Structure formats: structure tokens, C-alpha cells
Structure 1
Amino acid sequence: MFKIIVTAIVLAIAVSIFWNISKLKPETTLVEFTAPFVFGRFYIPEDNPYTNESVALGRRLFYDSKLSGNNDISCATCHKQEQAFTDGLPKAVGASGKPLSFNSMSLVNLMWGPRHFFWNGRVATLEQQALMPIAHIDEMDQDMDELMDELQADKTYQQMYAMAYGNISPENTAKALANFQRSLISANSKYDQYLRGEINLTEQEEVGRKLFMAHPDTKVSLRGGNCIDCHSQFLTSGFATGFDGFSNNGLDDDNNLADGLYEVTQDESHKGLFKVPSLRNIAVTAPYMHDGRFSTLQQVLEHYNSGIKMSKTLSPLIIEADNLEKLDNQTVSLHLTDEEMAAIIAFLHTLTDESFLTNKAFSNPFVAEAEDD
């Protein structure tokens, strides 16, 4: 009888330990990171603690081709670190081999800015965003149940999920991927160093910075590039309030206007509005715009200077912006000089953060493991 009691106690303890491990919650504090205070307040969901364990799990998942049905494609296929987590293509190409609808967006400073993700704002959280490409037939084309089976069979993932969230599930997979993406913070560009008082910009870069920050006003002889009206000063992304981070920037006229945000809201005033992207590391994220139509920053500046197409939802901030006295609202042009456009481009190059593009914490963990073996 004594042996039976002891055996029962041992079994009870073992079951308790197993249960606690399977339900383990992360014990570490918030992952340490630094970002300029001028970025403002950041947002992390209460039900997804931002921990070292969750970020490490998300990083591994981000680079793992298991997440695709053919085991050839990972998140990193369309989001490469050296290109600020873009892919260099006009439109992303996934498992089907067909060009997708949109250009791959840079993944940077995602804890700030608009609370709507993808070019047309179709999801409200990074957690919701994380799983959509995995299941999409043209992107990663992975069956979620099959993915869970593959992860369950992997001892490394068993341990990492247990430490981060307690168990392997689609929900926790989305949470881990979201937290890794939150860790992708770029805050050490030449511009950041300038803001911290560590360096000075060149004369041309300083001219470009001032033009970037100014809305032109002929009444006071203030010349400007009108950039800051849509790209917030320090983050250089769209504004976070409501749909303020979306804009129709004059790519097409009414007859050719893509749906954009209208596809989500069904509000006619939102037709042709797309998410304003961050300009952080913009020099390495070509091609540009939601459909990748511009190959160079020079083409982008020429568009804003003289290529704007009129439409019903064109941003008033773009219509009003002109460095010459405006005679009507039917012709839209900034009337920047070639030298001013070159200066703005020089300033945009100061937004390149080499430490972000090479940070080992954001790199492929499978490569690091292979090097250690």
C-alpha cells in the first residue's frame, strides 16, 4: 500500500510539472530596446507580453520555410533584412509564382504609427496581420493544421513555445511573429545621430531636411517639399489617429483609381487612399509606392513635383502645396528646382540605418546555428 501511495504522489507531481510547463507564462521583463523619446508612446497588446522568449520564437518562425505549404518560402522571402525587410520587387511573388497585388512593405518601427496594417489597412493588429500571408493561396499557401503538426513535431519549437506562451497554437504563432516584428526598431540613422547632437548634416542634407519639414507658403516666401504633411517628422510614417495615416497621393485619376482603403471601409471618400509608409531606410527599399511603379527616389520626387493626377479624393494637402503663387486648383505642382529635389533626396539618404540592416538580433537564426555547428 505504501508503494502505491508513493507511486501515486510521484505521478501527481509529474503531471503537475508537465501541466505547469505546458501552461508556462514568460517570466522575463519587457525586452530591452532603445528608441528616441520623440517617437512617442508605443502600443503592446495586454494579452501578448513583449518578452525575450516571444521575440526569439517569432524570429525563428519568421525565417522558417515550414510556414509555407511547399516548405520553400518564409516571411523573410518577401522581407529581407538588408533591404529593410522589403524584397526589391515591384510586387511580391509568393507560392503561386504570380505577382501579388501590392509591393512588400518595409517592417520597421511598427509599435508606432497607424494601427492599421497592409497597404489598404485591412487588419487592425500585427497579430491579425501575421497569419494572413501564411494561409493565402498565392503567398505561402500553408494549411494551418498541417503547420501546427509540423511545429509540434519539432523539439526546439516545443521548448520555445512552452517558454514563451505555454503551448503551440495558431494564436500563439501569430503573437510570436507580431512581437518579433515589434522588435524591428530603426533609430540609429545619420538623421537620428543628428537629432541626438552627435553629428552635423552636410549643407545639402540640411537644405533637404528643411524642405522636407516645410509646407510651402508663398505669402512668407517659405519653400517646402510638403513631405511632413503625410510623413510624421521623426517616424517619417503616417499619423496614428484614425485613418490619418492613409492618403491619395495623386498616382492616378478617377478613371484609374484603385480601391485602397475603400475596399475595407466602403467609404467613397477613402477610394484611392493607401497607407503612408515609413521613409526609414527608404534608399534601400526601392521600388516605391503600393504597386512599385517608381524605381528611383528621383522618379518619386518628379511625381510629387509635376506628375500628380487629379481625382475626387486627392489629398487637399497635396493640392494646396505649391512653391509658386497658386492660380487654380486644377494644376498641381510643387515647382521645386532640380537642386531642391536633389537636396531632399540627399536628406532621405540620411534615414538609412546601417546598424538596423545588419543587426544580428534581426538576422536568420538558422544561419547562426549552422555557423556554430
Structure 2
Amino acid sequence: MRTVLLLIICLCLLSCSNDDNLVSITENDVLNFSDILSIDFENLPNYSNQVIPSYITKDNTTFGSNITDEAATLGRVLFYDKQLSSNNTVSCASCHKQEFAFSDNLQVSNGVNGVTGRHSMRLVNARFSDETRFFWDERAETLEVQSTMPIQDHVEMGFSGENGDLNFGDLISRLESTNYYPALFNLAFGDTTISEDKIQLALAQFIRSIQSFDSRFDEGRSLVNNNGTPFPNYTQQENLGKQLFMQAPVFNNQSQRIDGGIGCAGCHQAPEFSIDPNSLNNGVIGSADNSGADVLVTRSPSLRDVVKSNGTANGQFMHIGVSSNLVTVLNHYDNINLAGNNNLDPRLRPNGIGQQLNLTQDERDAVIAFIQTLAGSDIYTNNKWSNPFND
């Protein structure tokens, strides 16, 4: 009986596709879906109509890429499918793990032909930013463009089409040969044609659906009128940390802080805690493979869920995975070194001199306590962002 119901649901969904074409899904197809995928096609997860707080206003969704449940479901399958790597060993989720807010617990990630050059950036709340470009060096114009670049990278997923690698056409042929991808593409887009554009759209919609707004920060922000007001659900220490984070510092002519906060929100804009698109390098210019200075890094993921609520880090910090300890991050910003960096953000070099924040221990502890309040809980366990494959 369940098989018949699944068949009816899938056919009904397909009949409402973009071009009203109906492609049959046989009863055997539905059975195979059940064998391979744990998705309930009678009741697709809600990706398209999730609750977003009214104070969240930044959004980098590309025109024509609004989330649908069907396309995001396809994106979820693609995100976790190791067939998207040339040797069937690596998926997007191999480097962006749900239990680490879709980052990696390794300093650099393992690809099919070596290790990645930079740490895998967290994908939580990737949508909620004025920044439309992606990768640490912003080389991808949009999330859609970014989504297939790792697939076509020789080291990461191996479909580069160069130096003996398979090409993207080989990947499309591989997906076409499965008994479920043509039907899933039809469900998402109204026909069974598989293309890079559709893969990009589906992956981007799934990634944009990954959101975290159930933190103690969100609880407090819902009780007040603005980010700067003390939150009634915070401790005195957490409110001090928030104040320090939000307020700009006051420097003397030697770039030593003499008053104010520490200015984190100048680049990590609240309440999304996303990166200001105009930000330049943050002063970390090392390379993971010690190959030389890397001053092109100007992007950052949202600071939401940079750590869990208990302070446990969601993987390594910065593009080189410099540490998993917020103390080292604060130490870096406490005393900025200009040496060898021609791309340092002006906010970190007042008067042309690297800032010296002169943080006290109480201030450090307060800022760390505040950052912990940016962590939610749903993102780590919600099934709609989990691996849909039964194995």
C-alpha cells in the first residue's frame, strides 16, 4: 500500500512541474528509492518556508534561485553523494559535516588527489549575508557558481577534465545512468535533463536552506528593539561581551585602544554576524602548506555556530585552520602585525599602524562567553540536513 501511495505522490508532484510534462516513475523506481534514499516523498521536508526572524534582513539569494522543497531535496541528495567525486570516495558532506555546522574538524580536508589548500568554510547561514561571492578569496561570483567548482577541482573531487581526469560530462553521464536522478531532476525542475546549471541550482538551494536561528542570542534579540540593548536572558558577563563585540574601539595616535569596544561587528555584521562585503584581509596570511603568504583571503563565514553552546569548536578557525581555540583568535586581533601584508583591512590598522586592543582577561572571557551564545542546536541534528542515503 505504501508503495502505491509513494507512486501516486511522485506522479502528482511531477504533474505540477514547471513545464507540465509528466514523466512516469514506475513502481520499481519507487521501491529503489526506498532502498537507496530515506526521503519520504509523501512529505518532503520544509526547506522553502522556514521561520526567519524579522530582524534578519541580509540575503544573497540569486534572482531565480528561490528555494523549493523539491530542488533542495535534490540538492541534499547531491550534497551527500560520493558519486560526485571521480573515484566515488568524496562528497560535499565529506568536508562540510553537519556535526561541525557544515565545516570540517580537520585543518584541511581530504580530496581524491590530496588535501585542500585551505580549511573548509562553515556553510551555516551562508544565505544570510550581503556578500554574494564565495570561497575565502571570493573567486566565485555566486553560491551557484561555487557549488560545482570543488567537483571540477583536480585535488578535491577530481572531475577537472585535465591531466587524465574525468570531465563534468562524465559526471552527468554517471548521474543519468542511475535509476533515481532523472526522476529527482524531473521532480525539481520539470524534466529529466541533467545539466551543470541544474546541479548548481539544487546544491545552492540546499545550502541556503541550512539555517540556525535558535540560539540564546536569538532568544534575547527577540525581547529587545536593537542589537545594542542589554539582553534580559544574558548574564552580566555575556552582555559585557556583546557590548565589546558591537562597539567600535577608540585608539590613540599609536593605535592603542584607550576606550570603547573591540569592533568585531565592523566586519562581522550583527545580527547575521556575516562578513561585510567590503572587508579586506584580517591579518592572517599564512598558508596551510607553508607555501608562502596568502593575502587574498578576505571572506569569512558567519560567526553563528563558530563554536557550540558549550564552547566546543566546530572545526578549526581561519582559512589555515590555525587553531580550535577562541583565545588564539582574540590574541591575533589584540596585536595586529602589518609585516608582509599589503591587503590588510583599514579597520585593523588605524593611523596606518596595526591595532593594539590591550584586552584584559575579563574582556577576553566576556567576548568568548558572548560568542558561545551565537550557537543553536537544531542545525546539528535536524534530519532534513542529514545524509539521505540508507547506507
CA RMSD of aligned residues (A): 2.7
Distance 1:178 1:252, change over 3 A: closer
Name whichever of 280-289 and 116-125 sits farther off.
Answer: 280-289
CA distance in 1: counterparts of 2:380 and 2:102, whole angstroms = 9
Measured against aligned partners, the alpha-carbon deviations of 1:63-85 in whole angstroms (never above 9, x if no partner) come to 01110111111100000011010
Bigger proportion of residues as helix: 1
CA distance in 2: counterparts of 1:300 and 1:176, whole angstroms = 35
Measured against aligned partners, the alpha-carbon deviations of 1:175-206 in whole angstroms (never above 9, x if no partner) come to 11111001011111111111112960122111
Q: CA contact under 8 A between 2:111 and 2:156: conserved in structure 1? A: yes
2:181 aligns with 157
2:294 aligns with 258
User: Aligned pair count?
Assistant: 322
1:5 aligns with none
**Aligned 1:283-302 pairs, distance under 5 A:** 283=307, 284-302=313-331
The match for 1:340 among 354, 360, 363 is 363
The match for 2:376 among 337, 347, 353 is 353
Distance 1:46 1:200, change over 3 A: same
Distance 1:330 1:20, change over 3 A: closer
Q: Structure 2: give runs of 5+ residues left out of the alignment.
A: 1-18, 24-43, 160-166, 224-230, 287-291, 308-312
Distance 1:278 1:48, change over 3 A: closer
Distance 1:365 1:221, change over 3 A: same
Offset at residue 362 of structure 1 (A):
0.7
2:234 aligns with 201
Name whichever of 297-306 and 85-94 sits farther off.
Answer: 85-94
1:282 corresponds to 2:309: no
Q: CA contact under 8 A between 2:336 and 2:354: conserved in structure 1? A: no
CA distance in 1: counterparts of 2:147 and 2:80, whole angstroms = 13
2:89 aligns with 72
**Aligned 1:152-191 pairs, distance under 5 A:** 152-165=176-189, 166=191, 167-191=193-217
**Aligned 1:188-267 pairs, distance under 5 A:** 188-197=214-223, 200-217=233-250, 222-240=259-277, 244=278, 246-252=279-285, 257-260=293-296
- AA matched with 2:211: I
Question: What secondary structure sits across from 2:111 in the alignment?
Answer: coil
1:38 aligns with 55
Q: CA contact under 8 A between 2:72 and 2:209: conserved in structure 1? A: yes
Q: TM-score, normalised by structure 1?
A: 0.79
1:313 aligns with 343
Q: CA contact under 8 A between 2:58 and 2:272: conserved in structure 1? A: no
CA distance in 2: counterparts of 1:336 and 1:19, whole angstroms = 62
Offset at residue 19 of structure 1 (A):
8.7
Q: Structure 1: give runs of 5+ residues left out of the alignment.
A: 1-17, 23-27, 261-272, 321-327
1:4 aligns with none
Question: What secondary structure sits across from 1:235 in the alignment?
Answer: coil
Offset at residue 248 of structure 1 (A):
1.6
Question: What secondary structure sits across from 1:181 in the alignment?
Answer: helix
CA distance in 2: counterparts of 1:218 and 1:123, whole angstroms = 36
2:141 aligns with 124
2:40 aligns with none
Question: What secondary structure sits across from 1:127 in the alignment?
Answer: helix
- AA matched with 1:48: S
Larger Rg: 1
CA distance in 2: counterparts of 1:350 and 1:159, whole angstroms = 42
1:325 aligns with none
Question: What secondary structure sits across from 1:20 in the alignment?
Answer: coil
Offset at residue 252 of structure 1 (A):
4.4
Offset at residue 134 of structure 1 (A):
0.7
2:33 aligns with none
